[in-house]
Chains A and B, each alone.
Chain A
Amino acid sequence: MNGRCLLLFARDSDPALELLRAQAPGYVRQVALADLSRPGWRYAAGKPDDARAVSQGQVIEAGDIGAVLCRIGGVAPAELVEIRPVDRAYAAAEINAFLLAWLAQFRGPRFNAPTPWSLCGPAWHEARWTQLAARAGLPLAPNGNAAHSVQATVIAGQVFCDASPELARHAARLARACELAMLGVRFEQHGGAWRFAQADSCPALDAQSAAAVLRFAAAMDESRKWAA
């Protein structure tokens, strides 16, 4: 670690927050929902080095942020409990729009690029995910209830999956096709065969995949430092 932090946009209720913090307590700094309506944030067009964030009420300058992981797809009005109810819908729209620009401008490792539909990465319609999976060569689940389902989690090309190596290859292929550093791929078992069911750019993490997140963030930040 080089003294810079991993800025983690996460709700207090997100289990990934504790998993990541437990493994790298000084490195992970949370941006909680309450931080989004506190003084100190800055975005200057074309000047990413002038950006500032707020974590637990403290202002952090862009140069002190090594990597960013956003696990808040978007802020809902009801979540902005520190803002007057009458202003919450407007404030939520403004905060989401601000974060989209802020995250898109961040120059360091950021896992998935934010999109207008989700700050965590693409939140495509299920039809588009299905089409992308089919085009990447994944077998598709038919309609109807499945006997079992399993998730494969892709972190920077590394796949964490309790099922078969074949599913790991499928998941990695889809993440590559979508150019995503982080992707959860859910497979369902139909007639004894595992088939693609759904994908999620903000998957649940376990201890292993959380460790991979930290390794990737630190390695990318280190390579950025040497490239500078």
Chain B
Amino acid sequence: MGCVVLWGQSGDAPFDAVRAELERRGAPHLALVQERCFEASCELRVAEEVHGVLRLPDRAIDLDEVSAAYPRPFESWRVLGRRGHAADSEAVRRAASLDHALWGWLETTGALVVNRPSAMTSNASKPYQAELIRAHGFSIPDTLVTTDPEAARAFIARHEAAVYKSVSGVRSIVSRVGQDAMARLDDVGWCPTQFQARIPGVDVRVHVVGERVLACEIRSEADDYRYARIRGIAIEVKQAELPPDVAERCVALARGLGLALSGIDLRRTAEGEWYCFEVNPSPGFPYYEQAAGQPIAAAVADLLTLQ
């Protein structure tokens, strides 16, 4: 087993959880924390294969010795900005240079990358990703994205209930179309807005780690369970078992999107149909790990160290 490189911000729950699990096992790893990343540098030599060296103040690592990587970086200028480094400072410039080299390495290395940058982008557009999801055998809600208020009205009228949410990866609260939204419908003219048929059912969050499937069931009356607690709505999260064919579809979907780790949002209807809403390529799994008692960080550590 080679060295595992972690890249992210300390205080970020998934990063800390995987790091703690590797430390607990005594697995050789390097945690490249972004708060101090201006102290590091990386040189790459790219041809048919990529080689290089990652230099830190106290050590240098031959990138050929790295067997796996778990990147969860935030924008360096923001991370350093919060620590008082100006956007035009030498620290930010060095961090940007390191970021550029590491992104290039992550995209081209033969090591296991959980996940590669190019695989982490499909959820930048929810309807784009939804078509990839549908191709893997899941149902997706009837969806219209439009700048045409009349088309939006017709779509809403066709469905018993509809919701609206962002088209992009910008986090938004899924909201039911009510009277307030109907009164503002002409506003869609200036910006594409996504409408979906509301699918009643039980939410199931699935984490796929390599070939392992860890599912939990979420019961809440909230339209968007992620915001249930903030809104004072009850929420219950518990471990769940998926039917084997659904679990297989989840693994195939994650593999098809090039993701070694993913968080898949499903909903099971009363009729037993499985809808998939989104695949998160960099899931914040500790919430589910704690709420449902699932060993997700351990599964990620297994994946990273079994190379």
Decide if A and B are genuine partners.
Answer: yes
List chain A positions with a Cβ less than 8 A from chain B.
Answer: 37-46, 52, 54, 82-83, 87, 90-91, 93-98, 100-102, 104-105, 115-117, 124-128, 130-131, 134-135, 140
Assess the B145–A87 pair: CB atoms within 8 A.
Answer: no
Residues 82-125 of chain B, each 1 if its beta carbon lies under 8 Å from chain A, else 0: 00000000000000000000011101100000000110011011
Q: Which of B104, B148, B189 contacts A128 (CB 8 A)?
A: B104
Assess the A39–B170 pair: CB atoms within 8 A.
Answer: no
Q: Which of A46, A96, A117 contacts B134 (CB 8 A)?
A: A46
A91 to B103, CA, bound (A): 27
Q: Which of B107, B170, B192 contacts A41 (CB 8 A)?
A: B192
A143 to B145, CA, bound (A): 46
Assess the A91–B190 pair: CB atoms within 8 A.
Answer: yes
Assess the A94–B103 pair: CB atoms within 8 A.
Answer: no
Instruction: List 14 additional contacts besides A91-B190, A102-B145, A116-B124; criterion CB under 8 Å.
Output: A37-B147, A39-B148, A40-B148, A41-B147, A43-B144, A52-B148, A83-B190, A97-B169, A98-B167, A125-B117, A127-B107, A127-B108, A131-B50, A140-B46
- Closest chain-B Cβ to A174's Cβ sits at a distance in Å of 14
Q: How many A-B residue pairs have CB under 8 A?
A: 139
List chain B positions with a Cβ less than 8 A from chain A.
Answer: 44, 46-50, 103-105, 107-108, 117-118, 121-122, 124-128, 130-131, 134, 140-149, 151, 166-170, 188-193
Q: Which of A91, A100, A104 has the most CB of B within 10 A?
A: A100
CB pairs A–B below 8 angstroms (22 shown): A37-B191, A38-B190, A41-B192, A42-B146, A43-B143, A45-B140, A46-B131, A83-B190, A93-B169, A94-B191, A94-B193, A96-B168, A97-B166, A97-B167, A97-B192, A101-B125, A104-B128, A105-B131, A125-B103, A127-B46, A127-B104, A134-B46
Assess the B105–A127 pair: CB atoms within 8 A.
Answer: yes
A-chain residues with CB within 8 Å of residue B192 when the two chains form the complex: 41, 43, 94-95, 97-98
